[in-house]
Structure 1
Amino acid sequence: MLKQRNEKKRNQTRRLVVTLLACMALLTTACGVKQSGTSSTQEPPASQSSSTEKTAANSSGEQNKPDLRGKRIALVMQFNTGTFSQQYLEGVQAEVKRFGGELTTFVAENDKAKMASQLDMAVNQKFDAILTDHGDVQTLEAGVKKALQQQIPVVAFDALLDVPGVTVLEQGDEQMAEMTLEQLAKDIGGKGNIVKVWVAGFAPMERRQLAYEKFLKKYPDIKEVAAFGAATNNTALDTQAKMEAILKQHPNKGDIAAVWTAWDEFAKGASRAIQQAGRTEIKVYGIDMSDEDLQMLQDKNNPWVATAAVDPKDIGRVQVRYLYQKLNGEETAATVKLEPVFIHRNELPADKQVSTNELSQHIAGWSGSKQGEQDWMSEYK
């Protein structure tokens, strides 16, 4: 009997242990499901994952968008002589201001060694971007390459630079020369003696000279009887003095039929000399246009009758736009050519003086160029 009771107790104990083990197993399984549900490695539903990735991508795009405001811009100029250069500078200043930048201008006063030093200075001072105005390869190349090595973008104006990564603006110089020379030939009947005022060593002058050489071949009855020109700190006055001397060397009516000048500072000086000498039969043809030039062109007593030009303010504005394209990480063309217009006295009002700001009312294509403008630039006012 005692043996049966002990066996019964053992069976009850075994059943209790089995029951307890089963309960513990259930409890453990239940806890495991709960922990898995709160784990940080849990994959979100597909729709939630897509939304998260999209938000992250948008956030990254905003963060990667460059902030172009507050950029320090250097402008290194070979010279700032005459109203053309001054109006060009106004265009640069206005466009840099539009983008919220800070402009510092260096003027070398026609000293090439000084210009090279100023360019090097701009690089060493770690400007965010650099503009150059004129200058030749020997003056600019080393400094420009140094700038590019330091990830400083460069956009040049009127320089014979061929450095990968640099954008160079030019005015369509051969076209401007052709426009004015063809008008000269028409006005003198394709024959006569002319004077050329030109200077070597400048990219735009070299391109204009190419057109002049073609012109002389095209019109063999047009002869060059004198040629001179120098870029100085007072180019117009120096040109006037030299032109006065040439008029004395050719004192008779018909000795000189016309004067062709490759720069507006030359046109100013030559025109003043001719007007003061009373040689009204001699007409002047020039290149470039500023407010001062326009006053002379509209004066019926002034010998300067025609010119070809690009709005100097437009040049400055377009150059800055290409610089900011580079700051925005965009690829820009190696060469950008600005389209010139031809301006003759006969196309201008005879009863009122106009400024270059009003010239577009009389000359189609003048000013307001949109070259270099990008859609994203509209946010800059």
Structure 2
Amino acid sequence: MKTWRRSSLGLALVIAIVLVLSACGKKENNDGASSSPSASPTASQAASPEASADSKIEALKGKKIAVVMQFNQGTLSAQYLEGVKSQVEKFGGKLTVLASENDLNKMVTNLDNAINQKFDGILLDHGNADALTAGVNKALAAGIPVVAFDSGLSIEGVTSIAQNDQLLADKSLEALAKDAGGKGNIVKVWVAGFPPMESRQITYKAFQAKYPEIKEIAQFGDASKAQLDAQTQMEAVLKKYPEKGSITAVWAAWDEFAKGVTNAIKQAGRTEIKVYGIDLNDEDLALIQDPESPWVASAGADFTSIGQVQVRYLYQKLYGDKAEASVQIEPAFVSRELLPTDKKVTVADLGEYVPGWGKSEQGVTDYLTQLEQSVGK
């Protein structure tokens, strides 16, 4: 009897153990089934590539963008800023302008402020590598993308946009040489210390070597109060060379300089002297169209388009694309002969007379086009 009871108890214990193990096995199988790839909710409900792209585009809306400007005076700066503002608005972003009043120290401080305020992206307008490199590296370390215009920067991860400054200089100087018959006395208005000016100087030196019978008789230029200073300096040069024919032409490496020397020449009644400039805006075009004005031609790019292009490359970076390291804006050449005589032309309609003006598609991508369309709805 005792033996049977012990056997019964042993059998019951074995059955109990088997049942427990069986239950555990079922639980493990259920757990395993719930985590198998075929049954995974994550995999079965994974977003399609199209949905993923849509979410990335949607994430671009509402970005906070800072534009840190060295210059904030003159019509070119106004046109550039208009291009930046309009493109940021089309992308659904919010723009903050940090102007530096041609003070590099203030520009460095403004850049640092933009980083500390954690903007989503930073645009730089002018400045130079010596002043900006440390701040730009700080921005990149903080994960803030940077796109610079005419800043002379060469930093990995930064897209640097510039006008083709050597081509700008070449177009204006070659026109001067052609009109002057390859000889004469000229005045150069230029200033050192700015990346675009330094690039234009390279072409000017080549021009001097190419045309040895074109002599430089005076040179000046000051970026502070540029137009007024150029007018005052040109007045002094005209007094030094009072005879008609003693000065053939003036080459002005910036339109603010060109306006100043044009005023001085007109007031002195020396309109036999021709002015060739760089950069274009509505005020410049009015002077070039005026048959009594000595300013007869200028090379330039549409600064509104430049601002738009710069914003596009910044948003490429915000999207996650590896944008180009260097972008060149191709210039146009505008002479009085190209413009109508019966109406005033503005940069807005200059494209009717100068092919390619104001219609840059640089930096445009399919997803940025979709973003514009989405914001515009």
Question: Partner letter of residue 56 of structure 1?
Answer: A
**Aligned-pair distance for 1:39?**
3.8
Residue 192 (structure 2) pairs with residue 200 (structure 1) = yes
2:124 aligned residue: 132
Residue 85 (structure 2) pairs with residue 93 (structure 1) = yes
Question: Partner letter of residue 208 of structure 1?
Answer: R
- Measured against aligned partners, the alpha-carbon deviations of 1:72-102 in whole angstroms (never above 9, x if no partner) come to 1111111112101110110000001111111
Residue 252 (structure 2) pairs with residue 261 (structure 1) = yes
**Aligned-pair distance for 1:63?**
8.6
Q: TM-score, normalised by structure 1?
A: 0.87
Counterparts in 2 of 1:300 and 1:99: CA distance versus 1, 3 Å: same
2:146 aligned residue: 154
Q: Check conservation: 2:80, 2:307, Cα contact below 8 A.
A: yes
Give the whole-Å Cα distance in 2 for the aligned partners of 1:236 and 1:42.
79
Q: Indicate which of 45, 59, 64 corresponds to 1:55.
A: 45
Identity, % of aligned positions: 54
Residue 158 (structure 2) pairs with residue 166 (structure 1) = yes
Moved more, 357-366 or 62-71: 62-71
Q: Indicate which of 298, 302, 317 corresponds to 2:289.
A: 298
**Aligned-pair distance for 1:380?**
2.7
Unaligned segments of structure 1, at least 5 residues: 1-23
1:104 aligned residue: 96
Counterparts in 2 of 1:40 and 1:62: CA distance versus 1, 3 Å: farther
**Aligned-pair distance for 1:191?**
0.3
Counterparts in 2 of 1:329 and 1:282: CA distance versus 1, 3 Å: same
2:371 aligned residue: 380
Moved more, 314-323 or 108-117: 108-117
Give the SS at the match of 2:48: helix
Counterparts in 2 of 1:378 and 1:245: CA distance versus 1, 3 Å: same
- Measured against aligned partners, the alpha-carbon deviations of 1:119-144 in whole angstroms (never above 9, x if no partner) come to 11111111111111111122111111
Residue 315 (structure 2) pairs with residue 324 (structure 1) = yes
Give the SS at the match of 2:199: helix
1:12 aligned residue: none
Q: Indicate which of 54, 62, 71 corresponds to 2:63.
A: 71
Question: Partner letter of residue 139 of structure 1?
Answer: A
Give the SS at the match of 2:284: helix
Counterparts in 2 of 1:113 and 1:366: CA distance versus 1, 3 Å: same
2:174 aligned residue: 182
- Measured against aligned partners, the alpha-carbon deviations of 1:134-179 in whole angstroms (never above 9, x if no partner) come to 1112211111111011011100000111111111101000001000
Question: Partner letter of residue 103 of structure 1?
Answer: L
Question: Partner letter of residue 296 of structure 1?
Answer: L
Q: Indicate which of 288, 304, 311 corresponds to 1:313.
A: 304
1:359 aligned residue: 350
1:348 aligned residue: 339
Counterparts in 2 of 1:57 and 1:279: CA distance versus 1, 3 Å: same
Q: Check conservation: 2:125, 2:151, Cα contact below 8 A.
A: yes
**Aligned-pair distance for 1:51?**
10
Residue 110 (structure 2) pairs with residue 123 (structure 1) = no
Question: Partner letter of residue 276 of structure 1?
Answer: Q
Q: Indicate which of 353, 357, 360 corresponds to 1:369.
A: 360
Give the SS at the match of 1:308: strand
Residue 230 (structure 2) pairs with residue 239 (structure 1) = yes
Q: Indicate which of 67, 74, 94 corresponds to 1:82.
A: 74
Aligned residues: 355
Q: Check conservation: 2:34, 2:40, Cα contact below 8 A.
A: no
Q: Indicate which of 323, 327, 332 corresponds to 1:336.
A: 327
Question: Partner letter of residue 85 of structure 1?
Answer: S
2:9 aligned residue: none
Give the SS at the match of 1:65: helix
Counterparts in 2 of 1:44 and 1:114: CA distance versus 1, 3 Å: closer
Counterparts in 2 of 1:363 and 1:118: CA distance versus 1, 3 Å: same
Superposition CA RMSD, Å: 2.7
Counterparts in 2 of 1:57 and 1:346: CA distance versus 1, 3 Å: same
Give the whole-Å Cα distance in 1 for the aligned partners of 2:54 and 2:324.
27
Give the whole-Å Cα distance in 2 for the aligned partners of 1:119 and 1:133.
11
Question: Partner letter of residue 58 of structure 1?
Answer: S
Give the whole-Å Cα distance in 1 for the aligned partners of 2:47 and 2:341.
62
Give the whole-Å Cα distance in 1 for the aligned partners of 2:75 and 2:323.
29
Unaligned segments of structure 2, at least 5 residues: 1-14, 373-377
Give the SS at the match of 1:336: strand
2:211 aligned residue: 219
Counterparts in 2 of 1:62 and 1:259: CA distance versus 1, 3 Å: closer
Q: TM-score, normalised by structure 2?
A: 0.88
Give the SS at the match of 1:116: helix
- Measured against aligned partners, the alpha-carbon deviations of 1:34-85 in whole angstroms (never above 9, x if no partner) come to x79x945437999x76997363142883696260111111111111121011
Q: Check conservation: 2:279, 2:301, Cα contact below 8 A.
A: yes
